Amino acid sequence: MVATPSDPALWYSAAYAGSDQWIFSFEKGHILELEKAVAASWRTPIPQLAKTSFELPQLGRCLGDIRSTLLEGRGFAVLRGLPVG
């Protein structure tokens, strides 16, 4: 008998139909932290930037959850609320 593959990243669209558990919505506090980090590092060359260059207490936790979802979970996420203008 052939074993059925089992992995969180192996999914069917029906499993997520009508669900929003794959949507990450950024809150105002997240955006404010991001704007503050960008303003503080605007002129820093990219090679000199590191995770420790930014204080992102709220957004950092959210990004950690997204990272875990991508690497260890379903493998996809929709991010909402990031300003594009």
Measured between alpha carbons, how far is 62 from 50 in angstroms, rounded to an integer?
Answer: 18
Where in the chain are the domains?
20-80
| Alpha helices (runs of H) in the chain, residue ranges in sequence order | 28-41, 57-72
pLDDT tens for each residue of 20-41: 888 999 999 999 999 999 998 9
* Confidence category of residue 66, pLDDT binned at 50, 70, 90: very high
Residue 44 clears pLDDT 80, i.e. is over it = yes
Contacts 24+ apart (CB under 8 A), 67-72: 69/22, 69/24, 72/8
User: What pLDDT score was predicted for residue 48?
Assistant: 94
pTM score above 0.95: no
User: What pLDDT score was predicted for residue 11?
Assistant: 78
Whether 9 and 75 have beta carbons less than 8 Å apart is answered as yes
Q: Which two tokens stand for residue 5?
A: 């593959």
Residue that the structure tokens 């379903």 belong to: 74
